[in-house]
Amino acid sequence: MSTAKVTYLGNLRTECEHLKSGATFITDAPLDNNGKGEAFSPTDTVATGLASCMITMMGIKAASLNISLEGTTAQVTKTMDVNPRRISRIDVEIDVPTKMSEKFQKILKNTANTCPVLYSLHPDIEKEIVFHWG
**Domain spans of the chain?**
1-40, 42-133
How does pLDDT run across 37-77, given as a tens digit for each residue?
999 999 999 999 999 999 999 999 999 999 999 999 999 99
For residue 131, the model assigns a pLDDT of 98
- 110 pLDDT band (50/70/90 cuts)? very high
Q: Which pLDDT band, with edges at 50, 70 and 90, does 15 fall under?
A: very high
Between CA 87 and CA 44 the distance in angstroms is 9
Confidence band, pLDDT 50/70/90 cuts, at residue 108: very high
Mean pLDDT across 100-127: 98
**Average per-residue pLDDT in the chain?**
97
Domain 42-133: give its CATH superfamily: K homology (KH) domain (3.30.300.20)
Q: Which amino acid is at 91?
A: D
DSSP string, the chain: --SEEEEEEETTEEEEEETTT--EEEEE--GGGTS---S--HHHHHHHHHHHHHHHHHHHHHHHTT---TT-EEEEEEEEETTTTEEEEEEEEEEE-S---HHHHHHHHHHHTT-HHHHHS-TTSEEEEEEEE-
Share of residues in the chain with pLDDT > 70 (%) = 100
